[in-house]
């Protein structure tokens, strides 16, 4: 079905928001950064479906930008959190659930002996860097140019409001380039505290890239030689690719890793998970937050990790991701387009070949919206366990129809 | 009643925690930072009562270190959040509740035209500093020596894992000292981006101090002369003293303010609230988090701010705070002790005169625990709306008995 999307309520909310919120909305969920026509406000979510403020329903492939891994409002996850809420959430200290969660997380991950919990992915990446410096007594942090590690001054993609000193001890290198990594390690010299890497290259607007085993091994070896800490930023990818941590298939173990997003299926939670050799560094720093001991999100985390361990959710997501990728390629080909689908199928990055200015991708995604599917034209997307074969096939049909729409409108690759 | 506090479950949890969490527990809720004998783990909270993991019940005066302002598990707050959870919490964007909350918060505060929401108080203070730099194009931030503004490298009370550059553009001065403030402003010169101050002086382990009107006016005037931003860190005090912002009684308006803790009665939420002149600075920075658009905590925030506006909760808390202060002074005097109770009565700081090493305060608080009252010997405490006259009187009786215990044990001021 093609729909004209009602948007009067969304427009009215944007108008109200513009008065009391800078730009009407801030950060990564501002739809002006996607394409004009995307709804900004939502009213409901369930499984793999979302409804915007005007009541338009979409089959969703953003999954709240990652947190939704088992399906929105999963009854077992929310049930566990609500049962905890009925006892205590924020109290004068943690509850037994903290220990349950720490035990479950360290047991699931192949690299971790201990963990700490926070609220934001940025809390976790910042704590990892601080712990690396504490553990080593050194300052330099190597990171990949263009990688996203959070939105505070040391790592924000924007430099507005940031001072040069906030980034004084960062050394950038080109992701995956072993020679450039060597150059960065040499530049850091004896002051190398750590190397921080995302699970794979998932920068906005460009092809994703899985790491080679050799690249991860080289980073590991450089840290071993130097006594520095290898930090895995698994905030975005964590748990969706592998419950043991995203580098488990490579056999490369980080000393420190940051998790968030999918850890509690949408409840606000983040974690630093570390190896024994980083424990003392963690013991020495001061890191805390008013709500970091909140038990409801931790109960949701225990339930989420339990379900991921005890069901076939992750293998299902991988199968569905492949089904989507194959279907989208075929749909594109039927209309004379070619897609560039890169990275893990569980986190689809779908770009159109030759679409340098995203003109086609934007039009395609807007057309898909009208056909009832919520995609993103330049950020990786996410699958969840609630995506079944019928939802994937319906999404492919919708994208097929969207390709027909844009082809009819004369949109062709430059 | 005097109790021997069962602690076998707490001890067992600490033992398990020590394996999978550095130091067993991190941050401000680690009870080893209070005094040996404090329970670490809790199992339940309701109104102004908490139960530890062993089931011991306490009349509570920490209020989750601030968030609990209306009573733990307030049915209207939790009801609003749960109703929102049944629709959507973390989705692909915000819900209408974001706009409701922004409108309600800017209407309540006397200084704010717009706001942004986060998860941690530190998120909000960090964003305020970044916005001040963005708005002014300058770098220097003046802050009071010893003030707590959060737990990330630029402001953490610990320097372990922190580099000198993280604090390169901070200038410290002595809180309340106008001449020292002038000196700091002169040192910043034309590079002054902002002055950040807590609502009043509430540093750990020392007497609290309310600001003089002259001090706040001097900080405001310095910012006006220089074109810098005056930042109120109202994370700890916000909403408990005055719903219009803690400086409203002084008639001094900050350009930017950070709120968190009590804003949603225990649900994880923080806010930056700014004046029109700081809006452009806010529009230009990039600040975001995976869960910052979560609607459940925002619904809790709307309900909390509504209840604070429409009930006598805040005046009640002030009356109960005065009743507690008067009662505690009398109880101390009955046993030959003298207390130093400072700062606002809603946030009691209770120190014992002559108790330089906290030996008496620690013993007093441990004795009070056995008499069923949870106090803190060196951090400010918090009252909530669920504290009624009978709870205050019972707390005073318990502290009276605790003084009798420590007097009998021979504990006297040095």
Nearest-by-Cβ selection for B119 from A73, A266, A291? A291
Nearest-by-Cβ selection for B25 from A29, A31, A94? A94
Q: How far is CA B230 from CA A304, B211, B219, B242, B278, in A?
A: 43, 15, 7, 19, 10
CA atoms of A166 and B190, how far apart (whole Å): 20
Which pLDDT tens digit goes with each residue over A237-276?
A: 999 999 999 999 999 999 999 999 999 999 999 999 999 9
pLDDT of residue B2: 66
**Residue B3 pLDDT level (bands cut at 50, 70, 90):** confident
Would you give the distance in Å from CA B82 to the centre of its chain?
Answer: 25
Which pLDDT tens digit goes with each residue over B323-372?
A: 999 999 999 999 999 999 999 999 999 999 999 999 999 999 999 999 99
* Paired tokens of B93: 């964007």
Q: Tell me the pLDDT of chain B averaged across its residues.
A: 97
Q: What is the mean pLDDT of residues B16-39?
A: 94
What is the b/e burial string over B188-198, where b = at least 16 CB atoms within 10 angstroms of the residue's CB? Answer: beebbbbbbbb
Please name the helix (run of DSSP H) or strand (run of DSSP E) that holds residue B169, with its range, or none.
none
Contact B229, B223 (CB under 8 A): yes
CA atoms of B374 and B352, how far apart (whole Å): 17
**Residue B412 pLDDT level (bands cut at 50, 70, 90):** confident
**Residue A4 pLDDT level (bands cut at 50, 70, 90):** confident
Report the candidate in B374, B327, B310, B320 with the shortest Cα–Cα distance to residue B347: B320
What is the b/e burial string over A271-287, where b = at least 16 CB atoms within 10 angstroms of the residue's CB? Answer: bbbbbeebbebbbbbbb
Q: Tell me how far apart the terminal alpha carbons of chain A are, to the nearest angstrom.
A: 29
Question: How many angstroms away from the CA of B336 is the closest CA of chain A?
Answer: 31
Q: How would you write A328-366 as a 3-class SS string?
A: HHHHHHHCCCCEEEECCCCCCEEEECCCCCCHHHHHHHH
**Residue A414 pLDDT level (bands cut at 50, 70, 90):** low
**Residue B33 pLDDT level (bands cut at 50, 70, 90):** confident
Nearest-by-Cβ selection for A96 from B13, B163, B261? B13
What residues of A are in contact with residue B87 (Cβ under 8 Å)? 43-45
Contact B392, B323 (CB under 8 A): yes
Q: What is the mean pLDDT of residues B93-108?
A: 98
Question: How many angstroms away from the CA of A400 is the closest CA of chain B?
Answer: 23
CA angle B166, B167, B173 (to 5 degrees): 165
Q: What are phi and psi of B44, to 5 degrees?
A: -165, 155
**Residue A2 pLDDT level (bands cut at 50, 70, 90):** low
Nearest-by-Cβ selection for A87 from B44, B94, B160? B44
Chain A within 8 Å of B134 (Cβ-Cβ)? yes
Q: Topology of domain A75-310, per CATH?
A: 3.40.640
pLDDT of residue A366: 97
Which pLDDT tens digit goes with each residue over B158-167?
A: 999 999 999 9
Evaluate if residue A1 carries a pLDDT over 60: no
What is the DSSP pairing of strand A349-352 with strand A339-342? antiparallel
Residue with tokens 């002595």: B174
pLDDT of residue A13: 98
Contact B317, B387 (CB under 8 A): yes
Has this prediction a pTM greater than 0.80? yes
Report domain extents, chain A.
Answer: 8-65+312-408, 75-310
Q: What is the mean pLDDT of residues A1-15?
A: 89
Judged by CB atoms within 8 Å, which residues 307-366 of A form the interface with B?
Answer: none
Interchain CB distance below 8 Å, A28 and B60: no
Contact A119, A217 (CB under 8 A): no
Interchain CB distance below 8 Å, A119 and B114: no
In the beta sheet, which residues pair with residue B231? B196, B256
CA atoms of B108 and B248, how far apart (whole Å): 11
Contact A372, A398 (CB under 8 A): yes
Report the candidate in B141, B143, B96 with the shortest Cα–Cα distance to residue B295: B96
Number of residues assigned to chain B: 414
**Residue A413 pLDDT level (bands cut at 50, 70, 90):** confident
Report the candidate in B297, B327, B294, B331 with the shortest Cα–Cα distance to residue B67: B297
Report the candidate in B35, B64, B33, B26 with the shortest Cα–Cα distance to residue B260: B64
DSSP output for A208-224: -BPPPHHHHHHHHHHHH
CB atoms within 10 A of CB B12: 15
Interchain CB distance below 8 Å, B102 and A17: yes
CA angle B146, B147, B150 (to 5 degrees): 120
Nearest chain A residue (CA) to B161 = A134
Question: Coil, strand, or helix at residue B338?
Answer: coil
Evaluate if residue B241 carries a pLDDT over 60: yes
- Report long-range pairs for B356-364 (Cβ below 8 Å, ≥24 apart): B356/B414, B357/B414, B358/B205, B359/B411, B360/B406, B360/B411, B360/B412, B360/B413, B362/B34, B362/B35, B363/B406, B363/B409, B363/B411, B364/B399, B364/B402, B364/B403, B364/B406
**Residue B414 pLDDT level (bands cut at 50, 70, 90):** low
In the beta sheet, which residues pair with residue B57? B51
What residues of A are in contact with residue B98 (Cβ under 8 Å)? 17, 21, 25, 41
Chain B within 8 Å of A99 (Cβ-Cβ)? yes
What is the DSSP pairing of strand A270-274 with strand A256-259? antiparallel
* Paired tokens of A349: 């990055």
Q: How far is CA A48 from CA A58, A176, A317, B96, in A?
A: 9, 34, 12, 21
Share of chain B above pLDDT 70, in %: 99
CA atoms of A31 and A49, how far apart (whole Å): 18
Nearest-by-Cβ selection for B286 from A65, A86, A158? A158
What residues of A are in contact with residue B43 (Cβ under 8 Å)? 87-88, 95-96
Question: How many angstroms away from the CA of B226 is the closest CA of chain A?
Answer: 18
Nearest chain A residue (CA) to B285 = A160
CA atoms of A63 and A73, how far apart (whole Å): 11
CA atoms of A393 and A320, how far apart (whole Å): 10
Q: What are phi and psi of B306, to 5 degrees?
A: -65, -45
What residues of A are in contact with residue B116 (Cβ under 8 Å)? 21-22, 26
Interchain CB distance below 8 Å, A166 and B163: no
Evaluate if residue A284 carries a pLDDT over 70: yes
Q: How far is CA A214 from CA A110, A154, A237, A252, B53, in A?
A: 19, 28, 20, 10, 48
Chain A within 8 Å of B137 (Cβ-Cβ)? no
CA angle B201, B202, B203 (to 5 degrees): 105
- Sheet architecture: strand order including B114-118: B114-118, B270-274, B256-259, B229-233, B192-198, B140-144, B170-173
Evaluate if residue A330 carries a pLDDT over 80: yes
CA angle B382, B384, B388 (to 5 degrees): 120
Q: Tell me how far apart the terminal alpha carbons of chain B are, to the nearest angstrom.
A: 29
Which pLDDT tens digit goes with each residue over A40-82?
A: 999 999 999 999 999 999 999 999 999 999 999 999 999 999 9
Q: Burial of A407 by CB count in 10 Å (0-12 exposed, 13-18 middle, 19+ buried)?
A: middle
Question: How many angstroms away from the CA of B14 is the closest CA of chain A?
Answer: 9
State the Rg of chain A over Cα: 22
The answer as to CATH 3.90.1150.10 being correct for domain B8-65+312-408 is: yes
Chain B within 8 Å of A173 (Cβ-Cβ)? no
Please name the helix (run of DSSP H) or strand (run of DSSP E) that holds residue A140, with its range, or none.
strand A140-144
Nearest-by-Cβ selection for B22 from A78, A268, A283? A283
Best probe of the B interface among A154, A290, A305, A365, by most B CBs < 10 A, is: A290
CA atoms of A383 and A68, how far apart (whole Å): 8
Chain B within 8 Å of A68 (Cβ-Cβ)? yes
CA atoms of A238 and B408, how far apart (whole Å): 57
**Residue B35 pLDDT level (bands cut at 50, 70, 90):** confident
Contacts of A29 (CB under 8 A, 6+ apart): A65, B92, B93, B94, B288, B293
Which pLDDT tens digit goes with each residue over A299-321?
A: 999 999 999 999 999 999 999 99
The stretches of B285-335 forming alpha helices (DSSP H) are: 295-310, 313-334
Report the candidate in A34, A273, A339 with the shortest Cα–Cα distance to residue B20: A273
Evaluate if residue B1 carries a pLDDT over 60: no
Nearest chain B residue (CA) to A87 = B44
Q: How many CA atoms lie within 13 A of A163 on its CB side?
A: 21
pLDDT of residue A36: 85
Chain A within 8 Å of B36 (Cβ-Cβ)? no
Contact B65, A290 (CB under 8 A): yes
Interchain CB distance below 8 Å, B120 and A116: no
Best probe of the B interface among A100, A112, A268, A368, by most B CBs < 10 A, is: A268
Report the candidate in A19, A128, A1, A12 with the shortest Cα–Cα distance to residue A57: A1
What residues of B are in contact with residue A160 (Cβ under 8 Å)? 134, 284-286
Nearest-by-Cβ selection for A120 from B82, B169, B290? B290
Q: What is the mean pLDDT of residues A120-134?
A: 98
């Amino acid at each position: 079905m093609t729909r004209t999307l009602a948007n009067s309520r969304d427009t009215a909310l944007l108008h109200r928001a513009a008065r009391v919120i800078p730009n009407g909305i801030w950060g990564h969920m501002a739809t002006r950064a996607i394409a004009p026509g995307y709804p900004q406000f939502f009213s409901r979510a369930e499984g793999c479906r979302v409804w915007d403020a005007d009541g338009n329903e979409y089959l969703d492939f953003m999954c709240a930008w990652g947190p939704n891994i088992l399906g929105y409002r999963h009854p077992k996850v929310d049930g566990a959190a609500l049962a905890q809420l009925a006892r205590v959430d924020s109290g004068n200290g943690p509850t037994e659930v903290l220990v349950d969660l720490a035990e479950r997380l360290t047991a699931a991950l192949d690299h971790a002996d201990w963990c700490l919990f926070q609220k934001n992915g940025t809390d976790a990446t910042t704590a990892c860097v601080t712990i690396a410096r504490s553990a080593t007594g050194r300052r330099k942090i190597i990171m990949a140019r263009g990688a996203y590690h959070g939105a505070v001054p040391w790592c924000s993609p924007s430099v507005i409001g940031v001072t040069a000193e906030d980034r004084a001890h960062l050394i950038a290198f080109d992701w995956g380039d072993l020679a450039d990594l060597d150059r960065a390690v040499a530049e850091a010299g004896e002051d190398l505290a750590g190397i921080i890497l995302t699970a794979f290259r998932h920068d906005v607007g460009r092809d994703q890239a899985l790491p080679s085993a050799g690249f991860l091994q080289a980073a590991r070896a450089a840290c071993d030689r130097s006594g520095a800490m290898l930090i895995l930023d698994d905030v975005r990818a964590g748990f969706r690719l592998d419950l043991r941590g995203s580098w488990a298939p490579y056999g490369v173990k980080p000393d420190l890793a940051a998790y968030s997003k999918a850890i509690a299926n949408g409840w606000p939670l983040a974690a630093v998970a570390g190896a024994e050799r980083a424990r003392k560094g963690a013991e020495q720093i001061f890191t805390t937050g008013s709500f970091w001991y909140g038990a409801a999100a931790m109960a949701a985390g225990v339930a989420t990790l339990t379900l991921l361990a005890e069901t076939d959710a992750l293998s299902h997501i991988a199968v569905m991701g492949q089904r989507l990728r194959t279907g989208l390629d075929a749909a594109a080909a039927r209309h004379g387009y070619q897609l560039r689908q890169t990275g893990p199928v569980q986190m689809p990055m779908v770009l159109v070949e030759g679409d340098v200015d995203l003109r086609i991708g934007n039009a395609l995604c807007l057309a898909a919206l009208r056909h009832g599917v919520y995609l993103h034209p330049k950020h990786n997307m996410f699958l969840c366990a609630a995506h079944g074969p019928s939802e994937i096939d319906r999404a492919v049909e919708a994208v097929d129809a969207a390709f027909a729409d844009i082809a009819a409108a004369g949109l062709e690759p430059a």
